[in-house]
Amino acid sequence: MEQFLNFLQQILSTPSILVGLIALIGLVAQKKPIEVVIKGTIKTILGFIVIGAGAGVLVGALNYFGNLFNFAFAVQGVVPNNEAIVSLALNTYAKDTAIIMALGMVANLLLARFSRMKYIFLTGHHTLYMAALIAVVLTVGGLESGSWQLYVGGSMLLGLTMVFFPAIAQKTMVKITGDDSIAFGHFGTLGYVFSAWIGSLVGKGSKSTEDIKFPKRLSFLRDTSVAISLTMFIFFVLVTFAAVIKPDFDATVLGGTHWFLFSIIQSLTFAAGVYVVLAGVRLVLAEIVPAFKGISEKIVPDAKPALDCPVVFPYAENAVLLGFLVSFAGGLVGLAILFALQGTLNPALILPGVIPHFFCGATSGVFGNATGGRRGAILGAFGHGLLITFLPAMLMPVMGSLGFANTTFSDADFTAVGILIGNIANFVKGTGLLAVCVGLFVLPIVYNVVAPKKAKS
């Protein structure tokens, strides 16, 4: 049984296979010819593998940057990282996480079918992370590990998050993409919606980041890959030089390469990773949207696929880089504020993780740009950087024994759900906490029955 659950967890947490299965089901539901089914399924899986490969290249370059930054400036504190905290959680909650994840995807389909939130969440690894968070928080709140109460409450709560967060992002997604065919499925949505809200407040009359006018001699900067390479080269040179001049620097970190050449290679590697991710996104979109039509027509009427955050990158490529840099700056300011609170509130010092600030910061830049142009992208991403610094600090006391680990969840939705449910658990324990989870799940279905949506005439 445990081997089967482990196999199921691996399938459901592998984005390429999960989305490939969804494409397969959609094409079969439309009774497409076998050659179309095979082609659409394989190209969908291939697209997600390309995205994963590009993300791997990005993460490698960002890890170098983050480690050099921490060493160069002697920063000590908690580094938010979803993968790290989930790996720790799975040491104790692996079975609970797998069952909650599997049942949570069924709960997602039920809510998409019977509520107004017609979204099917397809970002498998984030589903796994949220399932792990929920397993931890509900167990700390009094639902016994391995109990049916934990599985029912956890899966209902997970299913709710899988439709709620895409729903609150959809208005801005329509502005970004220009249509209503796809949705956003990444558990940093509160940060992106926050960025879009800031953009709507400050961006009146501000031109899009994509309308930046370059002098003729600088026209090469219109090429996103070139602009990213040059910008990251400046950052790598500054951080690497600050590290190598320290007497205790370990030169083996650079792999025997001169620090200046290392900076060139890593900046170009980073840009190459972005290029590959964008290519993968375009490949997936070309296949998943037509394939998903079968699910929306046959299984869950009017459903939309909720896809991972890189899906918005091709729509505002300048905002991607701008959002990353400004969000990281916001994280540094947030760290300074947390440091200033030492001796009074004594919060954990949350270091700006380069990986979450890239993927989430870049996305917040795109969302801020959609509602407020350049000003929206800059101020929205800065606000996002502050948000994903303060929320992880607030989450750590809720995580029980895991709160003592030197890492925590990084993205806004994980931290917000953990803080909310953890604090509810301070007032209602055990069966009462289960009742809260069931009530939250049933509420949107009851609302849809009691106040049915009027058909457009």
How many CB atoms lie under 10 A from the CB of residue 125? 17
Q: What is the DSSP string of 371-422?
A: HHHHHHHHHHHHHHHHHHHHHHHHHGGGGGGGGGSS----SHHHHHHHHHHH
Taking the C-alpha atoms of residue 179 and residue 453, their distance in angstroms, rounded to an integer, is: 21
Structure tokens at 325: 């840099």
Q: How far is CA 291 from CA 22, 28, 305, in A?
A: 8, 9, 10
| Best-predicted range by mean pLDDT (53-57, 68-72, 187-191, 213-217) | 187-191
The model's pTM is 0.84
pLDDT of residue 403: 67
Highest-pLDDT range among 131-145, 183-197, 249-263: 183-197
Please identify which residue in the block is written with the tokens 């065919």.
Answer: 181
Rounded CA gap, 357 and 348, in Å?
Answer: 18
pLDDT digits (tens, 9 = 90+) for 91-124: 788 888 888 987 898 899 999 999 999 999 988 7
And the tokens for 287? Answer: 């296949």
3-state class (DSSP) for residue 74: coil
Phi and psi angles of residue 342, each rounded to the nearest 5 degrees, phi first: -65, 135
Tokens of 56: 């791997």
Quickly list H helices, 248-353: 259-298, 317-340
pLDDT tens, residue by residue, 301-323 = 888 999 999 999 999 989 999 99
Per the CB < 8 A criterion, the answer to whether 53 and 272 are in contact is no
* Strands of the sheet with 119-121, listed across from one edge: 119-121, 304-307, 183-184
**What is the per-residue pLDDT for 214?**
67
Query: Residues 369, 237, 72, CA angle at the centre, nearest 5°?
Result: 100
